[in-house]
């Protein structure tokens, strides 16, 4: 396998020690000239060593692979065009953060073999810096070796490592690159899909890199692409690039190249945090100052909990106002339909089925908008990644990295995108584990259930109770993770870099877009699955039509009518309104009792009776049981089913609350039901996503079974434990 010549290029920042190392290797056997066409010095040396002819190139000193200066163009073109067998990036260890900018970009090229020399390691040591080489190597998946150029230390080993890399013939590893924020990743993905079919396997860079450069408006890369792409593909690519750049500019109010640079620095900040420690005082800058507090081991965590708590408080209290308006709107619509339509089955379907079902869910839209808005703020300010960072220690307890916490946090919004977000994890086991525990993160669809139950039974403490439920979900996820990691999915977690982007003041527009992107799914669900679900549930509860009632309700109604008519006629005019109101109340009670009896007798009631024994030990009655079954379609349906079963019609959640209290539900039982809702089987859409992402029916069924068993046990423990210690 003798390969006669190996070409090694030395790249790095100016003054990182390239020429010194170059001289060490080549001695006097060098050729000095200029790079073609420009007055940039080119040094090339040849030497026979370790059984190879080594050709060493001393590239001009550069800070990045962005073609800002002639040096950068020369160095980059050399790497892209001459395809050296291996590039050694000489990193100035005494200036690690700045050097990593170039190093990260080298890694981003994707196809070139790169090796890092941590030069100036003597200076770094003298300044009190400690750099964890192994960690750095692991995080970027690149060999790293410390050198002291001017003392010729470590240079031979460096060369040997470079030769080993070439000999091994392995492709440079994928992954361990900057993960940009989702808008940008989406844009990259779009361009990549257009580019990939036209890419040669031996191209020195991959289509992802080319896409990134296009987004950065890199004219040099653009020219290259122009020369290889057919015309029609090119024009599509160009117009797509323009529109994507415009979208990003609108969304961030910055040029895409600046956003990308910022995010690369975020990636580097993440690396620095893991590999770099210093005994001297840190450089001051505002992001880092904020991070000193927000990612501090002691205060960071309480602050994080506070933010999450505040988010739920806000969702609950602020959301209550628009919720009232929508509720009145739905009630008004119900009243209009009620008066306009003649008594019929169709009217019943419209008012008690569709309007009640969809209406009882649409009232939660404001809460969900607020929740998604808060999550967008966390993401856009850069706080989300700090959360992941903070959670890193805790996540390690379950054998996962902090990065898994981002899908989990997103699970608060909706499990479907959350489970898809687990794709960013590199290890298959990490991904599977994250997918299995994410459903315990309480999604926004469960919020309506909590709002009704906690709002009814816990009054002003509702926000706190809901917070506890969410917390319980997190704890269950962690315990589950720990359990699975030590049994089903044994193995170490993969190393990775947590991006720590600079803090940004988010743009309102981009917050709104992000909020809307996710809320759209909620609305789509409303029009689709919830509408269909409501109709099915109404049908099940409206049939069979009862013929035999235990009471003669029409007679009771007639009785009330006649008694009150007499009373009202004989009463003082000032007392009449009170009497009228009382009459209406009584009539409503009778009608409700009648409808309740009808429902009990219906198919729904029969199913409920059949499953009642399963839910009885949890303090949940048959109506609750049926609602929970219906919740498999979509969690929001739990509330609307409760509404149908308690025979509350268009009056919305106030009436449902009263009905729940009347049904004899206790606060403890309500809490037990909330826990069950929190933990049990994910909704259809989530199950489908789990199936798609794990590509395994076995894991899908496992997830369904496990969550439901855990839900039952937890609710059982809470309910019966609570009763033992005397909580009713």
Point out which residues bind Mg ion (CB under 5 A). 19
Give the nearer residue to ligand GDP in terms of CB position, either 29 or 151.
Answer: 151
Quick one: what does residue 349 bind among Mg ion, ligand GDP, none, with the CB cut-off 5 to 8 Å set by partner type? none
Could you give the angle at which helices 256-275 and 383-397 cross, rounded to 10 degrees? 30
> HEC profile for 645-700?
HCCCCCCCHHHHHHHHHHCCCCHHHHHHHHHHHHHCCCCHHHHHHHHHHHCCHHHH
> Helix (H, G, I), strand (E, B), or coil: what is residue 409?
helix
Q: What are phi and psi of 490, to 5 degrees?
A: -65, 150
Question: Does residue 114 contact residue 89 with C-beta atoms inside 8 Å?
Answer: yes
In the complex, minimum distance from the CB of residue 20 to Mg ion, in angstroms, rounded to a whole number: 8
In the complex, minimum distance from the CB of residue 80 to ligand GDP, in angstroms, rounded to a whole number: 21
123 touching ligand GDP, by CB under 6 A: yes
Give the nearer residue to ligand GDP in terms of CB position, either 88 or 358.
Answer: 88
Short-list 683, 518, 541, 516, CA closest to 600: 541
d(CA 25, CA 687): 59
Short-list 359, 358, 455, CA closest to 661: 455
Quick one: what does residue 588 bind among ligand GDP, Mg ion, none, with the CB cut-off 5 to 8 Å set by partner type? none
415 touching ligand GDP, by CB under 6 A: no
120 touching ligand GDP, by CB under 6 A: yes
What DSSP element (H or E) covers 43? strand 41-49
12 touching ligand GDP, by CB under 6 A: yes
In the complex, minimum distance from the CB of residue 171 to Mg ion, in angstroms, rounded to a whole number: 31
61 touching ligand GDP, by CB under 6 A: yes
Residues present in the chain in total: 728
Give the nearer residue to ligand GDP in terms of CB position, either 17 or 357.
Answer: 17
Quick one: what does residue 148 bind among ligand GDP, Mg ion, none, with the CB cut-off 5 to 8 Å set by partner type? ligand GDP
24 touching ligand GDP, by CB under 6 A: no
Quick one: what does residue 15 bind among ligand GDP, Mg ion, none, with the CB cut-off 5 to 8 Å set by partner type? ligand GDP
Q: Interface with ligand GDP by CB under 6 A: which range of 18-26, 199-207, 289-297, 626-634?
A: 18-26
Q: Interface with ligand GDP by CB under 6 A: which range of 147-155, 396-404, 457-465, 602-610?
A: 147-155
CA distances from 103 to 93, 113, 140, 267 (A): 12, 12, 9, 12
CA distances from 624 to 173, 198, 497, 540 (A): 53, 57, 45, 15
Kindly state the tokens that stand for 95.
């200036």
Kindly state the tokens that stand for 330.
């739905």
324 touching ligand GDP, by CB under 6 A: no
Give the nearer residue to ligand GDP in terms of CB position, either 95 or 546.
Answer: 95
Bridging pattern class, strands 114-119 and 144-146: parallel
60 touching ligand GDP, by CB under 6 A: no
Q: Is the peptide bond between 544 and the residue preceding it cis, with omega within 30 degrees of 0?
A: yes
617 touching ligand GDP, by CB under 6 A: no
CA 72 from chain centre, in angstroms, equals 37
In the complex, minimum distance from the CB of residue 145 to ligand GDP, in angstroms, rounded to a whole number: 12
Give the nearer residue to Mg ion in terms of CB position, either 42 or 583.
Answer: 42
148 touching ligand GDP, by CB under 6 A: yes
In the complex, minimum distance from the CB of residue 85 to ligand GDP, in angstroms, rounded to a whole number: 21
Give the nearer residue to ligand GDP in terms of CB position, either 14 or 705.
Answer: 14
Tell me how many residues contact ligand GDP (CB under 6 A): 16
Give me the residues that bind ligand GDP (CB under 6 A), please. 12, 14-20, 61, 119-120, 122-123, 148-150
């Amino acid at each position: 396998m003798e390969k006669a010549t190996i070409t090694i290029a030395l790249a790095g920042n100016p003054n990182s020690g390239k020429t010194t190392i170059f001289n060490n290797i080549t001695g006097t056997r060098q050729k000095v000239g200029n790079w073609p066409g420009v007055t940039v010095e080119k040094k090339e040396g040849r030497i026979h060593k370790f059984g190879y002819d080594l050709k060493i190139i001393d590239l001009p000193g550069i800070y990045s692979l962005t073609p800002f200066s002639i040096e950068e163009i020369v160095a980059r073109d050399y790497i892209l065009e001459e395809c050296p067998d291996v590039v050694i990036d000489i990193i100035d260890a005494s200036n690690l953060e700045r050097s990593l900018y170039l190093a990260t970009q080298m890694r981003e090229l994707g196809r070139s073999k790169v090796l890092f020399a941590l030069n100036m390691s003597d200076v770094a040591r003298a300044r009190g810096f400690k750099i964890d080489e192994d960690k750095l190597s692991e995080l970027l998946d690149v060999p790293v070796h410390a050198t002291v150029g001017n003392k010729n230390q470590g240079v031979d080993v460096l060369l040997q490592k470079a030769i080993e890399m070439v000999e091994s013939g392995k492709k440079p590893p994928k992954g361990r690159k900057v993960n940009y924020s989702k808008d940008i990743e989406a844009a990259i993905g779009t361009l990549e899909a257009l580019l990939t079919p036209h890419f040669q396997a031996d191209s020195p860079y991959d289509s992802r890199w080319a896409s990134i450069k296009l987004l950065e408006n890199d004219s040099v890369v653009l020219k290259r692409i122009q020369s290889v792409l057919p015309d029609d593909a090119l024009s599509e690519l160009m117009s797509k690039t323009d529109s994507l750049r415009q979208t990003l500019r609108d969304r961030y109010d910055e040029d895409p190249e600046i956003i990308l640079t910022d995010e690369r620095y975020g990636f580097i900040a993440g690396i620095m945090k893991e590999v770099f420690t210093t005994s001297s005082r840190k450089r001051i800058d505002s992001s880092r100052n904020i991070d000193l507090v927000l990612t501090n081991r002691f205060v960071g965590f309480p602050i994080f909990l506070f933010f999450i708590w505040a988010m739920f408080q806000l969702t609950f209290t602020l959301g209550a106002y628009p919720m009232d308006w929508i509720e009145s709107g739905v009630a008004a619509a119900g009243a209009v339909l009620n008066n306009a339509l003649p008594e019929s089955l169709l009217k019943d379907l419209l008012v008690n089925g569709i309007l009640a079902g969809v209406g009882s869910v649409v009232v939660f839209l404001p809460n969900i908008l607020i929740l998604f808005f808060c999550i967008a703020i966390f993401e856009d300010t850069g706080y989300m990644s700090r959360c992941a960072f903070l959670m890193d220690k805790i996540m390690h307890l379950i054998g996962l990295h902090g990065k898994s916490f981002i899908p989990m946090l997103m699970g608060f919004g909706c499990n479907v995108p959350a489970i898809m977000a687990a794709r960013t994890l590199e290890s298959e086991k990490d991904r599977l584990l994250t997918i299995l525990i994410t459903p315990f993160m309480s999604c926004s669809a469960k919020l309506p259930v909590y709002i009704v139950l906690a709002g009814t039974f816990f009054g002003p403490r509702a926000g706190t109770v809901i917070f506890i439920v969410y917390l319980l979900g997190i704890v269950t996820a962690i315990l589950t993770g720990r359990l699975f990691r030590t049994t089903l999915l044994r193995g170490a977690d993969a190393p990775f870099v947590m991006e720590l982007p600079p803090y940004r003041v988010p743009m309102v527009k981009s917050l709104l877009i992000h909020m809307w992107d996710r809320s759209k799914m909620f609305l789509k669900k409303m029009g689709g699955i919830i509408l269909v679900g409501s109709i099915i549930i109404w049908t099940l509860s409206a049939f069979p039509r009862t013929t035999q009632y235990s009471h003669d309700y029409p007679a009771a109604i007639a009785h009330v009518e006649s008694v009150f008519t007499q009373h009202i006629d004989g009463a003082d005019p000032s007392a009449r309104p009170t009497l009228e109101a009382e009459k209406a109340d009584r009539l409503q009670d009778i009608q409700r009792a009648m409808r309740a009896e009808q429902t009990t007798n219906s198919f729904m009631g029969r199913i409920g009776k059949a499953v009642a024994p399963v839910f009885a030990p949890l303090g949940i009655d048959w109506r609750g049981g049926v609602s929970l079954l219906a919740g498999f379609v979509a969690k929001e349906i739990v509330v609307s089913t409760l509404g149908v079963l308690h025979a509350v019609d268009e009056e919305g959640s106030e009436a449902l609350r009263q009905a729940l209290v009347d049904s004899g539900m206790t606060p403890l039982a309500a809490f037990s039901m909330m826990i069950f809702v929190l933990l049990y089987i994910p909704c259809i859409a989530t199950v489908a996503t789990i199936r798609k992402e794990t590509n395994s029916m076995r894991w899908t069924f496992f997830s369904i079974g496990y969550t439901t068993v855990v839900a039952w046990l937890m609710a059982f423990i809470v309910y019966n434990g609570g009763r033992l210690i005397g909580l009713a």
